[in-house]
Amino acid sequence: MRSHDLHGYSHRHLLVQSSILLFLGTFSAAQAASDILSKGSNLTYGETLVSANGSFTLGFFSRGVPARRYLGIWFTVSNSSGDAVCWVANRDHPLGDSSGVLAISDTGSLVLLDGSGRAAWSSNTTAGAGAASPTVKLLESGNLVLLDGNDGGVDDYGVVKLWQSFDHPTNTLLPGAKIGINLWSGGGWSLTSWRDADDPSPGEFRYTMVRRGLLPEIVTLDSSDAIKYRTGVWNGRWFSGIPEMNSFSNMFVFQVTVSPSEVSYSYAAKAGAPPSLSRVLLNYTADAVRVVWWLDKRGWDNFFTGPRDDCDHYNRCGHSGVCNHTAASTTWPCSCVQGFVPVSSSDWDGRDSSGGCRRNVSLDCGDNGTTDGFVRLPGVKLPDTLNSSLDTSITLDECRARCLANCSCVAYAAADVQGGGDDVGTGCIMWPENLTDLRYVAGGQTLYLRQATPPSGTGRLKKETRVLVAAGSTLGFIGLIMLAIFAVQAVRIRRRNLLIQMTEAVETAQDPSVSSIALATVKSATRNFSTRNVIGEGTFGIVYEGKLPRGHPLLHGLAGRTIAVKRLKPIGDLPDIIVRYFTREMQLMSGLKQHRNVLRLLAYCDEASERILVYEYMHRRSLDAYIFGTPRERALLNWCRRLQIIQGIADGVKHLHEGEGSAGNVIHRDLKPANVLLDGGWQAKVADFGTAKLLVAGATGTRTRIGTPGYMAPEYVQSDGGETTLKCDVYSFGVTLMETLSGRKNCDTPSLVSEVKTILNCLGRSRC
């Protein structure tokens, strides 16, 4: 179809119309700061409409080289039309110059004309033909509406009569808009990604609400309508795969509508919440990102990204497999659910889980009843409900009985958890076949998995054997008590000395910006260490995402900040190395001068039995997730970005080795991609100083061997008397550099070495 026939306009008619509209430019709405464009007026390049309170601007903006011009709406507070565009009119037909004109046509449609009078875009509003004096208004919600001037265009329910941009979203969902299915028209509302960062034309991905089975959920689809990511079904309080929504409940009200006319999702700002602007953005890499602009902070804050990690990719571990992201950076994240084994062990050994899992013990169910039972699988995103059944009228106990009586039912769960935890939820979802897209998620729902009941034991120990076992156990127990008495005394003495060292380290902190923080404040920031806030777990403790309260007089500039909280395991439950870890990190971080490429310690908590370290929050997590991740994650690291990261790591290590600040020279001793964190701008920050070592003046090294195999210098590993020197970090940096450039682990040495020349040649041709 030729562009001048795009919406049924004759070429001659449009030329005449555009000439008239251009002649009427003296009546342009841009002559005053207005939110209204009336019929007979027009909007040209450089002119804008601004919503009543100034939150949104409608106008023209440019993208790409050579420049392509678009009509769009953006957040005014970002001070740039290219920074936060939330709606684009002519994304399929950009203008080649600045001669575009927006006006209301004789037929009552809102139309964008190019310099030749051709329609680059139109609202195609048939209802506007009978309007006496149609007007266009940019609302404070960011919604552009075409109104009938006779009655204001809005009925008692607040529904725009003629046309609104909220019915035609592009890549952004604003409060009050919706995504989902229009059951009356057969159409719907969905977000469509841009083609790339500088091209607003429709991209490969869509984000919308669907019903797979009978329950609604949000999915990201690719160009073939294959699922890339799904939120999990709505359970009355949150989507089962996003329990983090509970932590947003003080800011937003979430609305899921299921009616004869539509199935949709929308959200709104909660009354009394801190003043802010917000959006859900589907970017060109298929990430759906919820961001908030704090009016007092004047900056965007990333609240949530879906998919959040590798386990959120659809059906990551195959049918009846379950994905566990807490192990993803070091081990294979996939496993089979209880009672199942891989269909192909060789495929799983090769890290291919697409074949899924099968039962290793058949269920016992038939005409004569069943001996099967159920096991709880807590903290999960519920499986895909495509072929499931739903009954919202029964209790969870009734659901269990119904599933047990149905030999094809393999699992069940509560459909609605509004009444409390999912163990006391209501309604019933039953799955009749393989479980698809199952993952662990902190704070998730409970799935009840059908299992064959194992046969009870029939053998008994003979009396004589029982006597011998009892006697041996008694003697062994007495011996253990004696050993325990001596061990406890030794541990107490050792622990007391370590605690003294730790206290001294805290008291002698040199950096005044590293302040102590009350345990109550940390608990409030992390929702009392809620499992829903967990973002990582390691040998020494658990890391939580937290949000410090605003307006607190003792937070020294940290109020309202998103933080990462490392809660070390209780001293009484772990070896003394935990105390050493806390002591070492406090000594180093408090005495080390701040640097852009070294993770900053913001505060610490030393209260009761708690040892807590509070760091700045890194939105993109660790480097290894990108260089060893999925093809989509790897693709985010182009050459320029990899070089930027490598330069940042080098600068951070240089800062440690030069010993700026009171800490002196610092050997990291465990430099690797997993200990390099990335902020929202891909700036690298060296992290995890629990194993680092100070070099006192005049010393050349230390003989305590610590590190990760593969990143430790060979001469240091192979020599019993080898010293840890600054050169050991240089070796580790070299391994990290090669892994970052090649995307291969250091254990794949032959392939890694063979690609060095190719990599360097590519770098020589790259332009960054």
Residues known to be catalytic:
670
Nearby residues of 567 by Cβ (< 8 Å), 6 or more positions away: 529, 541, 542, 543, 544, 610, 611, 612
In whole angstroms, give the CA distance from residue 178 to residue 176: 7
Maximum Cα–Cα distance across the chain: 111
In whole angstroms, give the CA distance from residue 732 to residue 660: 21
End-to-end CA distance of the chain: 40
Alpha-carbon torsion angle 584, 588, 590, 595, nearest 10: -140
Angle at 663 between CA 661 and CA 665, to 5 degrees: 95
In whole angstroms, give the CA distance from residue 543 to residue 565: 5
In whole angstroms, give the CA distance from residue 545 to residue 535: 6
**For the chain, how are helix, strand and coil distributed in percent, rounded to 5?**
25, 30, 40
Q: For helices 639-658 and 726-742, what crossing angle results, to 10°? A: 170
DSSP, residue by residue, 288-320? EEEEEEETTTTEEEEEEEES-SGGGSTTTT-TT
Angle at 405 between CA 402 and CA 409, to 5 degrees: 75
Least Cα distance to 614 among 625, 601, 624 occurs for: 601
Report the helix count and the strand count for the chain, using DSSP H and E. 13, 46
Q: For helices 577-591 and 463-507, what crossing angle results, to 10°? A: 20
Residue 710 Rama label (left phi>0; alpha psi -120 to 50; beta)? left
With tokens 């941009």, the residue in question is: 165
Least Cα distance to 265 among 346, 211, 335, 198 occurs for: 211
- Known binding residue 523? Answer is no
CB 321 within 8 A of CB 438: yes
> DSSP class of residue 239?
B
Radius of gyration of the CA atoms of the chain, in A: 31
Residue 325 corresponds to which tokens in the numbers above? 């992201």
> DSSP class of residue 509?
-
Bridge partner residues of 305 (DSSP): 289
Bridge partner residues of 135 (DSSP): 38, 147
Residue 743 Rama label (left phi>0; alpha psi -120 to 50; beta)? left
CA distances from 275 to 78, 223, 232, 311, 595 (A): 16, 37, 30, 34, 32
Please state the φ and ψ torsions of residue 22, each to the nearest 5 degrees. -65, -35
Residue 222 corresponds to which tokens in the numbers above? 């690719």
Alpha-carbon torsion angle 758, 764, 766, 768, nearest 10: 140
Binding-site residues, in ranges, read 566
Binding-site residues for ATP, in ranges, read 566
